[in-house]
Chains A and B, each alone.
Chain A
Amino acid sequence: MPSQSRRSRAVRWGVPVAAIAVVGAAVGTGPVIAAVQGDPTLPDRTAEQLLAEVAKTARQSQPPAMSGTVVETASLGLPSLPIPGGSSSSPMSLLSGSHTLKVWYGGDDRLRLALPGPMSETDLISTGKGEAWVWQSDANTATRYKLPEGKAGAHATPSVLPTAKTPSDVAAEVLKAADGNTSIRVENGQHIAGRAAYQLVLTPKASTSLVKEVRLALDGENYIPLRVQIYAKGTAEPAFEVGFTQVTFSTPAPENFAFTPPAGAKVEEKTLGAGDGSSGDQGAETPQAADAARSKLRTFGSGWGTIAEVPFSLADLAKPATGERGGKWGGEGDPAKVADSLLKSAKQVSGPWGSGKVLQTKLVSALFTDDGRLLVGAVTPEALAEAAGQK
C-alpha cells in the first residue's frame, strides 16, 4: 500500500514536471523551429558574388516595401548611466539594454519608426512629401521637420558606390579595399526572422582592434540587411546587435505614413539645415562650425585601428548643458549628466605622453588627456596611449 501510494504520488508530481518541461521546450525551441522551417536552400556564393549581387540590386531597384519588428540589443559595457532604463521610449535609452522598434517602409521615402515604451511611444514618420514628424507621447509633442527641397529622393542610390562600373567591378573593388585590413567570408544557411539569409563576416586584422568581427546578414532574396552583429574581442555574445525578429515584404497600410497632430498636442516646426540631413538635432549647427571641427580632427592609423583625435577639454563637459537641451531630455536622460557619470568611471592613466583619463567599453576606448585632447577609437587603451605620444 505505501509503495503504491508513493508511486501514485510520483505520477501526480510528474504532471507539473511535464508541464514545466513543455513550457520550457516551447520557450527554448521556438527560435530553433523557426530556423528549421525557413527555406534552407540558398545557392552558395563567394563574398565577391554576393557583393556583386548586392550592388546590382541596390542600383537597379529601390528597397522593397516592408514592415517588421527590429530588436536592438546593446551590451556595450558602458558604465551605469543615468539614462532612462529598460523599455523606456526615450531614444537615449537605446544605449543600453534591449529594445524593440517597429518599422514600416513604403518606398518613396515613406517610413515610420515606432519605439514603444510603457504607456508611451516615440514615433518618427516620414510622409514622403518632404516632411517628417517626430511624435513623443510622453511629452505630448509633435515636431514637424521640413526637409530641404530636392533632397527628398537623394538617398535612393547609395552614393558610396561609383555608378559607372558594373556590379562585379564594385564587388572586386570593395574586396580589394578591404583586403589589407579585413578578412571577409560568407556563411550560408542563416535564418533571420524566418528568412533564409547570407551572412557576411568581417574580421579585422589589426591586433589593436577591440572588434572581433562584424556579422552582416543579408536576405537571400532581395539582399536587404536583416541583421548586424558586432562582436567584441573576448565575448561570446554580440556587444551590439540590431536585427529583424519579424519581417514582411509587402506594402504597409498607408495610414502608417500619415500623421496629423492630435488635438491638444504641442506642435513644433523645424527646418533641417543644409548640414547633415539625417540627424535632427545637429541640423541647427552651421556648416562653418562643422568645417571648423573637421579641420581640428586628426586621425592615426587606418582601417579598424583608426584613432581620431580632437581638441577637447574636460572642463567643457563640467559646464552645465544649455538650458534648451537640458529641458528637452528631462531629468533622467540629460546628456550632461550622462557625460558626468561616464567621466566618474574613467580610469586615471599616465605615460611618457602625459596623463589623462581613459574610458574603456567593449567596443570603444576614449582617452581624455590633461593637455586638452580627446582620442577615440575602437582600439585598446594601450593603442590610444601610443597614439597620444605621436604629437
Chain B
Amino acid sequence: MSTLSSATPAGDVKDSTAPPGATNPAGGAGATDPDGGTGAGFHGPSTGSGTGTRPALAAGEQLGSAAGERLVSATGVPVRPSAPRAAVRLLASELGLTFRKPRNIAMLIVLACVPVLLGVVLRVVGGDNDAPSLITQVAGNGLMLTFAAMTLLVELLLPLAVAVVAGDAIAGEAGGGTLRYLLTAPAGRTRLLAVKFANVSVFALVACSVVAAAALITGFALFPVGPVTLLSGSTISIADGLLRILIVTGYAAAGMAALGAVGLAVSTLTEVPIGAVAATVVGVVFSHVLSVIPQLEPVRPYLLTSWWSSFDGALRDPVATDVMTQGLLVFAAYTVICGSLAWARFSSRDITS
C-alpha cells in the first residue's frame, strides 16, 4: 500500500468529512472497496463534490459496480485484477471522461473548423500570387490543405488544446477534490500518472488526426486532388501523399504528447488547473519567442517548440529521416525528463484536498 503512505500519514487526508473508504491510508482501500482496482470506484464518493469535473458519474458507477461483482471471488474475498488489465480499464475510464467533457469536445471542434475555414477562404478568395507557395498550391491540390493546416495549427492552437487536457490532468483532480479518492484505489500513484499521460497522448493523437481528417475532407470537397508536389520539387502519387499525411500526423502527435508530459509535470505542482494550463501555454509562447531571437540561435535545437514543425521532413525527397529522428529523440527526452519530474513530485506529495 504505497498509495498514500509515502508522505506523512497525518498530512495525507486532513478533511475529516471524507468518506470512510478514503480516510484510512494504511488500511488498504483495496480491501474495503472491492472495485478500487478498477479505478472506477472513486466515482461514488465524488458525487458530493459538486464541481462537475467528473460528469460521467452514472457511467462510472455502473462500470464500478459491474467490475466489483466480477472481482469478488467465490469465497467473498476481493481479488485484484491483473495490473495491465486494471491499467487499461483505468485508461478507458479516463478516456471516456476526457472525450465526454464538453470543453474538450469544443476544442476539437474548433481545431476541425480551422482547416475547413482555411479551405473555404482559399476557395472563395483564391490564392493570390504573393502568398506563400504552400497556400497557392492548395488551390491546385486539395491534399496540400492538410500540410497547410498542420503548419498553421502546430505552433499554437494544437499545443493549447493539449496543454488544457494535460494541465488539468492532476491539478484538476486535486482542485476538484477527486484526487484523493482516485488515490484510495490500490492502483498506485505511478500507474495513475502513467494512465494520465497515456490519456493526454491519446488526446494529442486524436487532436492531430481531427485536424488532418478535417483538412482532407475539405480538400477533397473543395479542390481538385492529384499527385502531390513535394518541397524538393518532385511529384508523388496520391496514395504516397496520403501515407505522408499519416507520417506528418503521427509526428505532430508525438510532439504534442511531449508537450503533454510537460503539462503533466506542471500539473503535479499545483491544485489550480487553470494555473497549470496557463503555465504550459506561457512556456510554449516563451519558447517561440526564444527561438526567434537570433542571438539565442544555439539554444534553438534544445527547445521543444522548434521541432514541432519539422514534420516538413516528410515532404522532402528523400524523406529527411535524420531531422525527424532527431525531433523524435528530442520529444522522447522531454517526455522522460518531465515524466520523471512529474513522478517524483506526484509520488512524494501530500494530497491535502
* Bound complex: CA A142 to CA B234 (Å): 11
Residue of B nearest to A85 (CB): B294
Check if B294 sits within 8 Å of A96, measured CB to CB. Answer: yes
- Residue B194 interfacial (CB < 8 Å): no
Contact B294 A119 (CB under 8 A): no
Residue contact B344 to A119, C-beta cutoff 8 Å: no
Residues of B within 8 A of A149 (CB): none
The contact of B294 among A12, A18, A97, A114, by CB within 8 Å, is A97
Q: Cβ of A13 and Cβ of B344 under 8 Å apart?
A: yes
| CB proximity of A331 to chain B, nearest CB, Å | 10
Q: Which of A131-139, A208-216, A225-233 lies at the interface? A: A131-139
Q: 8 Å CB contacts to B: which residues of A96-129?
A: 96-98, 100, 102, 114, 116, 118-121, 123
A7 to chain B, nearest CB (A): 11
Q: Are B316 and A263 neighbours in the complex by a CB distance under 8 Å? A: no
Given contacts A119-B147, A123-B232, contact A19 B316 (CB under 8 A): no
On whether the beta carbons of A13 and B233 are closer than 8 Å, the reply is no
Is A42 engaged at the interface, CB distance under 8 Å to the other chain? Answer: no
The B289-314 residues at the A interface (CB cut-off 8 A) are 292, 294, 297, 300, 302, 309, 312-313
Tell me the complex Cα distance, A96–B331, Å.
28
B133, B226, B232, B317: most-surrounded residue (chain A CB, <10 A): B232
When each residue 261-277 of chain A gets 1 if its CB lies under 8 Å from chain B and 0 otherwise, what string results?
11111000000000000
Query: Are B344 and A16 in contact (CB-based, < 8 A)?
Result: yes
Q: Kindly state whether residue B7 has any CB partner on chain A within 8 Å.
A: yes
B235 within 8 A of A: yes
Give the complex CA separation of A138 and B348 in angstroms: 52
How many angstroms from the CA of A100 to the CA of B8 in the assembled complex?
54
List the B residue with the shortest CB-CB distance to A134: B233
Tell whether B140 is near chain A: CB-to-CB under 8 Å.
yes
CA distance A114 to B233 in the complex (A): 11
B234 touches A262 (CB 8 A): yes
Q: Say yes or no: A16 contacts B151, CB within 8 Å.
A: no
Q: What does the 1/0 interface line of B273-292 toward A look like (CB < 8 Å)?
A: 00000000000000000001
Q: Which residues of B contact A100 (CB under 8 A)?
A: 323
Q: Could you tell me the distance in whole angstroms from the C-beta of B217 to the nearest C-beta in chain A?
A: 22
Whether A140 sits at the interface, judged by CB under 8 Å, is yes
Contacts of A119 in B (CB 8 A): 132, 134, 147, 151, 231, 309, 312, 315
CB distance from B3 to the nearest CB of A (A): 14
Check A86 against B297 for contact (C-beta < 8 Å).
yes
Known: A138-B133, A246-B322. A264 touches B229 (CB 8 A): yes
Whether a CB of chain A sits under 8 angstroms from the CB of B353 is no
Q: Check B297 against A98 for contact (C-beta < 8 Å).
A: yes
A121 and B231 contact, CB distance less than 8 A: yes
Chain B residue numbers with a CB within 8 Å of A164 are none
Say whether A20 faces chain B, with CB atoms less than 8 Å apart: yes
B343 contacts the other chain (CB 8 A): yes
Q: Taking CB as reference atom, which chain A residue is nearest B136?
A: A140
Q: Do residues B233 and A16 form an inter-chain contact, with CB atoms below 8 A?
A: no
Interface residue? A306 (CB, 8 A):
no
Contact between chains at A261 and B231 (CB < 8 Å): no
Is there contact, CB below 8 Å, between B316 and A116? yes
Q: Is the CB of B348 within 8 A of A12?
A: yes
Taken together as a complex, chains A and B put the C-alpha atoms of A261 and B235 apart, in Å, by: 9
User: Is there a chain B Cβ closer than 8 Å to A69's Cβ?
Assistant: yes
CB distance from B268 to the nearest CB of A (A): 11
**Chain B residues with Cβ under 8 A from A137's Cβ?**
133, 231-233
Closest to B335 in A: A19
A301 interface residue per 8 A CB criterion = no
Interface string of A138-165 (1 = CB under 8 A from B): 1110100000000000000000000000
Is B232 within 8 A of A135, CB to CB? Answer: yes
Decide if A142 touches B233 in the complex (CB within 8 Å): yes
A139 neighbours in B (Cβ, 8 Å): 133
Is there a chain A Cβ closer than 8 Å to B237's Cβ?
no
Asked if B133 and A140 sit within 8 Å, CB to CB, the answer is: yes
CB within 8 Å for A118 and B340 given contacts A80-B294, A137-B233: no
State in angstroms the CA–CA spacing of A20 and B340 once bound together: 9
User: Would you call B340 and A15 a contact (CB within 8 A)?
Assistant: yes
How near does chain A come to B304, taking the closest CB pair, in angstroms?
13
Q: Which of A18, A27, A118, A262 makes the CB contact (< 8 A) with B233?
A: A262
Q: How far is the CA of A121 from the CA of B315 in the complex (A)?
A: 10
Residues of B within 8 A of A121 (CB): 231-233, 316
- CB of A333, distance to nearest CB on chain B (Å): 15
Contact with B along A1-34 (1 / 0, CB 8 A): 1100100110011011011101100110000000
Once bound together, how far apart are the Cα atoms of A18 and B337, in whole Å? 9
**B233–A116 touching, CB < 8 Å:** no
Q: Are B235 and A116 in contact (CB under 8 A)?
A: no
Contact across chains for A85 and B292 when beta carbons are under 8 A apart: yes
B243: CB under 8 A from chain A? Answer: no
Known: A98-B297, A262-B233, A262-B234. A5 touches B341 (CB 8 A): no
In the complex, whether A300 has a CB less than 8 A from a CB of chain B is no
Which chain A residues border B104 with CB–CB below 8 Å?
Answer: none
Evaluate contact between A265 and B294: CB separation under 8 angstroms.
no
Determine if B348 and A86 form an interchain contact, defined as CB atoms under 8 angstroms apart.
Answer: no
Cβ-closest chain A residue relative to B300: A86
Residues in B whose Cβ lies below 8 Å from that of A97 = 294, 297
Q: Does B73 contact A (CB under 8 A)?
A: no
- Cβ of A19: which chain B residues have Cβ within 8 Å of it? 336-337, 340
B146 within 8 A of partner (CB): no
Write out the residue numbers on chain B whose beta carbons fall within 8 Å of the beta carbon of A114: 232, 316
State the A residues within 8 Å of B (CB).
1-2, 5, 8-9, 12-13, 15-16, 18-20, 22-23, 26-27, 69, 80, 85-86, 96-98, 100, 102, 114, 116, 118-121, 123, 133, 135, 137-140, 142, 246, 253, 255-256, 259-265
18 interchain pairs, CB-CB under 8 A: A2-B8, A8-B6, A8-B348, A9-B348, A12-B344, A13-B344, A15-B343, A19-B337, A69-B322, A98-B297, A116-B313, A119-B147, A119-B231, A137-B133, A139-B133, A262-B229, A264-B137, A264-B140
Chain B interface residues (CB < 8 Å from chain A): 6-8, 132-134, 136-137, 140, 147, 151, 226-227, 229, 231-235, 292, 294, 297, 300, 302, 309, 312-313, 315-318, 320, 322-323, 333, 336-337, 340-341, 343-344, 347-348
Q: A16-B341, A265-B229 are in contact. List 9 more A-B contacts (CB 8 A).
A: A15-B344, A16-B340, A18-B340, A19-B340, A86-B294, A96-B294, A97-B297, A119-B231, A262-B229
Q: Which 9 A-B pairs have the closest CB atoms?
A: A262-B229, A135-B233, A16-B340, A121-B231, A140-B133, A19-B340, A16-B341, A9-B348, A12-B344
